[in-house]
Amino acid sequence: MRLTVIGIGLIGGSLALTLKRKGLVSKVIGVDNNPVHQEQALKLGIVDEIMSLEEAVKSSDLIAIATPVNIAEKLLPTILDLIDKQVVFDLGSTKERIVNIAKAHTKSGRFVPTHPMWGTEFSGPSAAQEDAFKEKAAVVCNKEQVDEDALKLVEQVYQTLGMHILYMDAVKHDIHVAYVSHISHITSFALANTVLEKEKESDAIFELASGGFESTVRLAKSNAAMWVPIFMQNKENVLDVLNEHISQLRKFKSCLEKENFEYLSDLIENANGIKRILK
């Protein structure tokens, strides 16, 4: 099977590397508008060949869209126009808008909207990893609108990656990821800005930074080209969660201001409830 990966970065690159090594695909064609990434992807053995979008779609059986989500929604109608019997899937972090765009197309049954729940704070082909997705969840949205053979093939892709598949409505997906992914990135970006803003003696402070700080601020290395479009597309849900998060932080602030240490203790003990869920 010949796979085209559009957007050869962290996600697309990791997908290509793993599927090729596992033998599910025999050839990987890369499409990327960044010449540096094209060259890196060839050099790192992530893709066998670079082609234009049209050429690539025509030469492959399976097409993965792994671009930022704003690019994905622009490309999808063009790709669906170009295909015949091929299968197309995306790997973006928001699902409602792309599902609606697909619905408007006559070949919508060939498109499988998905979101593998894996990523790192790094980007570009050099960030790609083999076996990256293993043991994580992959979400497949609105499967009832997808042709049976297309769904089966994409399920096979995620099974090959070692992921377990969750089926979910796109609207619900976007709400859930606002909670377990998008807000984490915003708090991490804001935390980095807080520290960078206020702390001038950076040498002293960062020698003190222990594992806890690194862990909460790690996601702040994530890149804007990927995250701005995600926040744009999921604006309403992200704002809901962000408002709640600010109001939770204000509770801590008020406890400190009023020296209400009993309530502070209650807040912390409530937060400890996350242990029930994350082992």
Q: Name which of residues 148 to 177 contact its own copies (CB under 8 A).
A: 166, 168, 172, 176-177
Verify binding: residue 200, its own copies, rule CB under 8 A: no
Provide the 8-state DSSP code for 123: -
Pull the structure tokens for residue 12: 């697309």
At 220, give phi and psi (nearest 5°): -65, -10
Minimum Å distance from CB 116 to its own copies?
9
Strands 2-6 and 27-31: parallel
Verify binding: residue 134, its own copies, rule CB under 8 A: no
Binding string, residues 65-104; x marks residues near its own copies by CB under 8 A: ----------------------------------------
The full 3-state SS of 192-240, as one line of letters, equals: HHHHHHHCCCHHHHHHHCCHHHHHHHHHHHCCHHHHHHHHHHCHHHHHH
Minimum Å distance from CB 239 to its own copies?
5
Minimum Å distance from CB 173 to its own copies?
8
Strands 62-65 and 49-50: unpaired
Q: Which residues pair with 4 in a beta bridge?
A: 29, 63
Given 69, 112, 146, 217, the residue binding its own copies (CB under 8 A): 217
Minimum Å distance from CB 231 to its own copies?
6
Verify binding: residue 192, its own copies, rule CB under 8 A: yes
Residue closer to its own copies (CB basis): 58 or 176: 176
Given 38, 120, 129, 156, the residue binding its own copies (CB under 8 A): 120
User: Which residue, chain included where needed, has tokens 């290395």?
Assistant: 221
Minimum Å distance from CB 92 to its own copies?
14
Q: How many residues bind its own copies (CB under 8 A)?
A: 93
Given 2, 137, 156, 171, the residue binding its own copies (CB under 8 A): 137
Q: What are the start-end ranges of the H helices in 33-68?
A: 35-43, 53-58
Which residues, including other chains, have CB under 8 Å from residue 9's CB and lie 6 or more apart?
Answer: 37, 66, 123, 124, 125, 127, 128
Rounded distance, CA 117 to CA 119, Å? 7
Positions in 231-270 near its own copies (CB under 8 A): 231-232, 235, 238-246, 248-253, 256-257, 259, 261, 264-265, 267-270
Residue closer to its own copies (CB basis): 152 or 172: 172
Pull the structure tokens for residue 270: 């409530």
Minimum Å distance from CB 130 to its own copies?
17
Rounded distance, CA 195 to CA 33, Å? 35
Given 84, 144, 148, 212, the residue binding its own copies (CB under 8 A): 212
Residue closer to its own copies (CB basis): 111 or 227: 227
Which residues, including other chains, have CB under 8 Å from residue 183's CB and lie 6 or more apart?
Answer: 238, 241, 242, 245
